Structure 1
Amino acid sequence: MTDPVHHSFLEDAQGIAYGACMAAFAITILTHLGLVTGQTAGLAVLVSYATGWGFGPVFFAINLPFYWLGFRRMGARFVAKTLAAVTLMSALSMLMPRWVSFATLDPIVGALLFGAISGSALLALFRHGASLGGIGIVALYLQDRTGFRAGWTQLLFDATLFAVALTLRDVPTVAISALGALIVNLTIAVNHRRDRYVAA
């Protein structure tokens, strides 16, 4: 019988696999259109655009310094699941363009799809005790140490990222990208409720 409070190993595995796969697919949409996004993935996308390096290796490397903070703030179980999610997403993001291509993809529709798919991916990861690492961990750590709200840290980081993006992309592209980021955040805000979903 399934435990109503805790996920089984297989439930966690499928949830993390789903989240990582959908996140990789969303990044494929994003980078195909030359758009940007926020958080750690957004930083990796900008580094990728600026250097020509692949998103997957950059995303994996950027997350490495954050695992110690994640261990201190969330524990070994969270870090192990997050490492698995980040590693799988990084690998799949390198393979996905070989499997998926787009003959026609309107940038606004693509941004909306990116936002909805990314939001569902993150929800799956959150509900199985994982994340895609990075800035969210730092934000929670700073909130614990200083009282500065995690949401404000993430907002300031994203604002900086989008400002930098204007040096690499034109204003319409960055504006469409902001729409995608808004959909990601709305999807999580509306659907991620600990008081309604308690399994971990």
Structure 2
Amino acid sequence: MDQSKLQHGIIDDAQGIAYGSFMAAAAVVLLTHLGFVTGQTAGLAILISYTTGWGFAPVFFVINLPFYWLGYRRFGRVFVWKSFAAVALMSALVALLPRWLEFGAINPAVGAILFGTMTGSALLALFRHGASLGGVGVLALYVQDATGFRAGWVQLAFDALVFTAALFLRDWHLVAWSFLGAVVVNLVIAINHRRDRYVAT
């Protein structure tokens, strides 16, 4: 296939990043409403938010800052700027959405699946427009380049640490439902993402 046909324009990228950031923000609002956790950088930010009372939005934004240098070295300037825009927009929306979006009673299984599908959709949109929300993914690829240790194993190890920590901070059944949500996210990406066509982190 002609790779030139796969390139997105500025308007395409803007709407893709806006869509991905909005869907991810709504998913986080749903997740925290349910008291769940998740993996990757967002999961770490959520645990910090739960334990300190600090807002997710500023914690998530700050946590991602050190990873932009690695992103620049691994993917280049354009990727970093797009990712910075996505993280900043998502952080702002997470802070603002509770003013306009309110959830009632939600079955935990339905909530976990809904979170997973929303987050998977968000990440697919961002990947397809050359952006990312998670610094851990960038770190994993950097470690892979430097040591040969597979990026997927790095991310899996990080998620294992996050969920293990969650077991000491949250009720076990909340962590179990959270794990279901994380599985759904990864299934959505694994089934729908084309690594030969789009950049993923």
TM, length-normalised to structure 2: 0.95
Shift of 1:133: 3.0
Residue 7 (structure 1) aligned with residue 12 (structure 2): no
Query: What corresponds to 1:121 in structure 2?
Result: 122
Asked if the contact 2:49/2:59 (under 8 Å) is kept, the reply is yes
Question: Equivalents in 1 of 2:73, 2:80: separation in Å?
Answer: 9
Specify the SS of the correspondent of 1:102: coil
1:25-174, aligned counterparts within 5 Å? 25-174=26-175
How do residues 169-180 of structure 1 correspond to structure 2 at under 5 angstroms?
A: 169-180=170-181
Asked if the contact 2:41–2:135 (Cα under 8 Å) also holds between the matched residues in 1, the reply is: yes
How many pairs are equivalent? 197
Q: What's the offset of the Cα at 1:198?
A: 5.5
* 5+ long unaligned stretches in structure 2: none
Query: 1:86, 1:194 → 2: CA distance?
Result: 22
Partners of 1:123 and 1:192 within 8 A in 2: yes
- The answer (yes or no) to whether the contact 2:113–2:180 under 8 Å persists in 1 is yes
Question: CA shift at 1:23, angstroms?
Answer: 0.1
Moved over 6 A (4+): none
Q: CA deviation at 1:199?
A: 9.3
| CA apart distance, 1:160 | 0.5
Which AA in structure 2 matches 1:79? V
Change in Cα spacing, 1:108 to 1:126, as seen in structure 2 (3 Å) is same
Shift, 1:106, TM fit: 1.2
Kept in 1: contact 2:39–2:162 (CA 8 A): yes
Q: Distance in 2 between matches of 1:173 and 1:57?
A: 24
Check 1:18–1:63 CA distance in 2 against 1; reply closer, same or farther (3 A cut): same
Q: TM-score, normalised by structure 1?
A: 0.96
1:33 and 1:59 mapped to 2: Cα distance?
19
CA distance in 1, matches of 2:194, 2:154: 21
Could you tell me the percent identity over the aligned residues?
Answer: 66
Cα RMSD of the aligned pairs, angstroms, is: 1.4
**For residues 106 and 198 of structure 2, what CA distance do their matches in structure 1 show?**
37
Counterpart residue identity of residue 71, structure 1: Y
